[in-house]
Structure 1
Amino acid sequence: MPLQPTSFPDFTATALHGDQNNTNSSDCPESDAWSWLNTNQPVYIVLLTILGIALNVFVLVVFCLHKKACTVAEIYLGNLAAADLLLLSCLPFWAVNVANGFDWPFGQIMCKVVNVGIKMNVYCSIYFLVLVSIDRYVALVYPMSHGRMRKPKYAKVGSLLTWSFGLLLSVPALVFREVQNFPEYGINACYLNYPNNTVELLCDGMLVIFSFIIPISIISFCTIKIIHSLKIQSIERFNAEKTEQKATILVLAVLLAFLICWVPFHVVTMLDVLLRAEVLGGCHLENVLDICNQIFTYLAFLNSVLNPILYVIVGKNFRKKVSEVFQQWSKRRAATSESIRSTLSSTLKTLT
């Protein structure tokens, strides 16, 4: 596809894996859909950012201010909210970039930092779901024999390791992302400048394997076992497991939302890797994958807004926490007001 100022570089590529960074022209004509996409990208990103940041901050505030310590599942879900918040904090820079005709105005350092933040969300969010799936699996399938493994201190260590692992897998974005001047387009583009096609395919293959194939396999195994265990408990009417069941239903809802939002993106990414490895070919397929990359990236980013909504709609325990936090806040406010009135009353008595 010939590169045009309005479509260079592709937002999906620049944000996640750089599949449009090849500046060589091809014989494939550009699709008319690019103009519509590039016009509506900034508005969508801004709305997503405002709504997502407000909702995820609300979730983190509830988890942090609640008087009771977070459970293992809540620690993982809180870290998932933090990962979503990281992504949403980076997206406004891309909204400005797209609105600016893909002329990056923030410099080399921010080019690397913003893209590392986006890439970390891709890896960290899926692995926090892996951890919470394993926790639900252990809680329901092996509640007695492996109960010692489900301790908050282990969850915190697991979360720290997940952040470290996400940062490690984001190193290619840190190394290869750079700002380069393209005088033929009149822009300074923030894009992935891979040294050769082999390194590009290797990095994209790593994205597919570590952010999709491996974690989805683990999640699928745990989910099947969890659903089977829930069916057994429903038949046998285990009242003692009601709390675990409520937490598990929330986790399953979050997992389903993640799969709906992210699976299409990863499928298109795998097809794109095969296309650039010349296993697949054709202008029509190339144009379709380019457009699908755009649309499915937006669908994937929407997941960062859906998660906190699901906590409120599905999570009965979370709604209970919200109610208790507001009660705590009301009591503190009442106590503060009473203290102020008492102080004023004492002061007036002293003056009179």
Structure 2
Amino acid sequence: MALMHTSDSANFSTATTFGDKNNTVCPQAEIKDWQWTVVPAYMLLICVLGIGMNGFVLMVFCLHKKACTVAEIYLSNLAAADFFLMACLPLWAAYVINRYDWPFSHLLCSLFVLPINMNAYCSIYFLVLISIDRYIALVHPLSHKGISRTKFAKLACLLVWGFGLLLSVPTLVYRKVVYYSHLNKSMCILNYTDPKEQLLFDGMQNTFGFIIPVCIISYCTLVIINSLNNRLIESSNSQKTEQKATTLVLVVLLAFVICWVPHHVVMILETLRRAEVLSGCSIITNLEICRAIFMYLAFFNSVLNPILYVIVGRNFRGKVRSLFKQWSINRTMTDRTTSTGSNLLRSVKTEVNSI
């Protein structure tokens, strides 16, 4: 029996029946009734939290009167990627509630997953940019001012968005609504016409979307940590500022590792299974279980990031206090102007009445 697989987690969906290279049929894992209610509720909850929190982060970065630093430009773009991901989750929750019977149009099947895939690829490359910026700031501080100008940071972010879109093209092209008569369902899946195409695109996405950026991040992080350990004795104000910014970056990187790395590892194992390097019903079943768990764990990272900005990011908290203070002053001035205008109007009315 040929492998029949409709599941694709960063390339999302669900599962039907499976077979390995020895033509052994592997039964589908039973889906419990509570999964149709708990999973959508979880997705809607993180959707509300993620949209609210990342929207707040974007508001602080955009409305604050002081220009963003290079690191803040990267973090704001990361927040934007998280925001777009969260905005698409209600459609996915509706799909799960409908028991993987796609209730929307064919076009929406292709488009709604695009921000989800772009989040996976863009997020990791924004972290690459953040890691490189911190690497230069701590290891090559003399060249940091010349290299990390904001216009180059904005251009780098634009290139990351474009590269994330490029890596998501296979998902955009091959994701379609397919009707399965034995299930009586129309499912939104990746429908590759040739298994070799799927292996090619999966290998490309695993390599450029995970392996290469993780190697860069790992190298920069190790050098950063080593540099911080060597500078603990020094205590200049500029170095303290750099260390505070670097601490936030390291915490965000740790959160990414916890939330996203298991998902990417499972996707690599899935590619090996499709290439028949791995086989067996137990492996297939375990991958199916891990894929679902780690996919939802990866989604949680979009809620965790803005929380970390507030808890760890002292500069971000300072921006928040400054922004609220600015709003408070503006409101006070507006109230005073309104009050002065009202008093003046009453005075004029009094004088007119006296005449």
TM-score, normalization by structure 1:
0.93
Aligned partners of 1:274 and 1:280 also within 8 Å: yes
Pairing partner for 2:346 from 317, 333, 348: 348
Q: Distance between the aligned counterparts of 1:3 and 1:328, measured in 2? A: 61
Q: Which residue of 2 aligns with 1:185?
A: 183
Q: Which residue of 2 aligns with 1:303?
A: 301
SS of 2:143 mapped into structure 1? coil
SS of 1:286 mapped into structure 2? helix
Q: CA deviation at 1:103?
A: 1.4
Would the alpha carbon gap of residues 276 and 19 (structure 1) be closer, same or farther in structure 2, given more than 3 Å must change? farther
Q: Output the amino acid matched with 1:130.
A: V
Aligned partners of 2:18 and 2:27 also within 8 Å: no
Structure whose CA Rg is larger = 2
Unaligned runs of 5+ in 2: 351-355
Q: CA deviation at 1:351?
A: 1.8
Aligned partners of 1:2 and 1:29 also within 8 Å: no
Aligned partners of 1:9 and 1:102 also within 8 Å: no
Q: Which residue of 2 aligns with 1:133?
A: 131
Q: Distance between the aligned counterparts of 2:32 and 2:300, measured in 1? A: 20
Q: CA deviation at 1:215?
A: 0.5
Q: Distance between the aligned counterparts of 1:264 and 1:74, measured in 2? A: 27
Q: CA deviation at 1:35?
A: 4.7
Pairing partner for 2:11 from 9, 17, 20: 17
Pairing partner for 1:117 from 115, 129, 144: 115
Give CA-to-partner distance per residue, 1:25-83, whole Å, 9 cap, x none: 66112324555544421111001101111110111111111110000000000000000
Give CA-to-partner distance per residue, 1:151-209, whole Å, 9 cap, x none: 11111111111111111111111111111222322222111110111111112112211
Q: CA deviation at 1:308?
A: 0.2
Aligned partners of 1:34 and 1:291 also within 8 Å: no
Q: Distance between the aligned counterparts of 2:119 and 2:54, measured in 1? A: 14
Matches within 5 A, 1:138-157: 138-157=136-155
Q: Distance between the aligned counterparts of 2:181 and 2:348, measured in 1? A: 78
Q: Which residue of 2 aligns with 1:216?
A: 214
Q: Distance between the aligned counterparts of 1:272 and 1:144, measured in 2? A: 45
Q: Which residue of 2 aligns with 1:258?
A: 256
Aligned partners of 2:122 and 2:160 also within 8 Å: yes
SS of 2:189 mapped into structure 1? strand
Unaligned runs of 5+ in 1: none
TM-score, normalization by structure 2:
0.92
Aligned partners of 2:15 and 2:28 also within 8 Å: no
SS of 1:211 mapped into structure 2? helix
Q: Which stretch shows the higher mean deviation, 306-315 or 339-348?
A: 339-348
Q: Distance between the aligned counterparts of 1:176 and 1:18, measured in 2? A: 12
Aligned partners of 1:104 and 1:190 also within 8 Å: yes
Q: Distance between the aligned counterparts of 2:348 and 2:124, measured in 1? A: 63
Q: Which residue of 1 aligns with 2:321?
A: 323
Q: Which residue of 2 aligns with 1:281?
A: 279
Q: Distance between the aligned counterparts of 1:345 and 1:19, measured in 2? A: 65
Q: What is the aligned-residue RMSD (CA, Å)?
A: 2.2
Q: Which residue of 1 aligns with 2:56?
A: 58
Aligned partners of 2:131 and 2:221 also within 8 Å: yes
Aligned partners of 2:95 and 2:102 also within 8 Å: yes
Aligned partners of 2:18 and 2:25 also within 8 Å: no
Q: Distance between the aligned counterparts of 1:323 and 1:167, measured in 2? A: 36
Q: Which residue of 2 aligns with 1:336?
A: 334
Would the alpha carbon gap of residues 282 and 65 (structure 1) be closer, same or farther in structure 2, given more than 3 Å must change? same
Q: Output the amino acid matched with 2:280.
A: G
Q: CA deviation at 1:20?
A: 6.0
